[in-house]
Amino acid sequence: MDQLIILGFPLFLLLLTYFIGRHLESNHYKSIREREAATKDMVAINFPRFPFDVEIERAGMVMGSVVVSHDHFKRFLAQLRIIVGGRIKSYEPLLDRARREAVLRMKEQALARGHNTVVNIRLETSRLANSRRGGKGTAGVEMLAYGTALTVREGL
């Protein structure tokens, strides 16, 4: 019985985090898709300036950032994957989610300030080290998106 508990608990934890993590991820993707659809009219480019001659009323800097982490189950999968190498599929959605979320937050900030375009977008990724395991583990990944928001006069 004791052995069953010792063996069963990590397995239970893996299964539990698999289901919770999957649920949270699909919820997040749903919200990302909805908000991307809502802000699709806003032009966001990584050009230093607006490509056409337009009249610019106002400019200001905007940014959006998010710190995300992956679940226990995916971390376990990745650890297995690192032994044999190759593509770590379980990490990809995490970074994708973070990047899209950061860009969305930046766009939302620009919209809230009354701008309608963002130019010169830059994306930055940084890893947050885990302070408990001597800085070895990863506590999360920070994604930062920033750019210059413009208010371009309508009707062009």
Partner 1 sequence: MLCSNTEDIPGQQIVEFYGVVTGSTVRAKHIGRDIAAGLKNFVGGELKGYTELLQEAREEALHRMMEQARSVGANAVINVRFGTSSVAQGAAELFAYGTAVKVE
Nearer to partner 1, 103 or 146 (CB): 146
Nearer to partner 1, 54 or 111 (CB): 54
Shortest Cβ distance from residue 149 to partner 1 (Å)?
9
Nearer to partner 1, 3 or 131 (CB): 131
Parallel, antiparallel or unpaired: strands 43-44 and 138-152: unpaired
CA distances from residue 123 to 1, 95, 120, 145 in whole angstroms, order as listed: 52, 12, 10, 5
**Other beta carbons within 10 Å of 137:** 12
Positions in the binding site for partner 1 (CB under 8 A): 13, 17, 20-21, 24-25, 28, 48-50, 55-61, 63, 65-72, 74, 94, 101, 119-120, 122, 124, 126, 128-129, 131-132, 134-135, 139-140, 142, 144, 146-148, 150
C-alpha closest to that of 102 among 62, 66, 68: 66
